[in-house]
Structure 1
Amino acid sequence: MDALCRHWAVASDDFSYVPVVSDACDADAWEGRTGLVHRAVMEDIGDLAAYHVYACGAPVMVESARQDFSRICGLPGGTFFADAFIAAKDLSNGVCAAA
């Protein structure tokens, strides 16, 4: 979907796209940003007081973003919306048995 997002960024002044890969390996030949996506947001937009955040991903990633955005970036309560999800393979491996 990278090409579609790049198209939207070119076609619209109201849309920006910054791809971030958390675990790029040498074989990927990735030359873009790396690390946690919420940390990239924090680097680019330090003050989130006037924003709404919509996040999805692994529960630990979503909760880290929620905490950091609220505590460090001033994101107001009630403006963080999330859908934490667990991969089917993790459910079948018993990773989330305690959840």
Structure 2
Amino acid sequence: MPSDTSGAGGERPTRLQVRLLGTGEIILDGRSLRAFNSLRLQRFLGLIALRRDHQHRSRLAFELWPNSDECQARTNLRKLLHDFRHSLPDISEFVEIDNETVR
């Protein structure tokens, strides 16, 4: 469903847009975020955006790195989450991340 980005009618303009079809694109306040050119970061964001409920970190790690052992996959996910936190300003407004889940 398209979102109103004009702010007309007293509604706040959409701050974050996630485009997953074609070339993935993350738009914050009308600006494309270049940090999301990484296919792995786009896939991660797609997984959490489409599911909307809490995702266990161990499952995300397995889905993103199916050929790695559990320890390595979780290490990779921690690094990805670190990069994700630095790529998206005001991240806590959009994503909940704790020790066990991501939403």
TM-score (norm 2): 0.26
Structure 1 or 2, whichever has the larger Rg, is 1
Compare the two structures and name the one with the higher helix fraction: 2
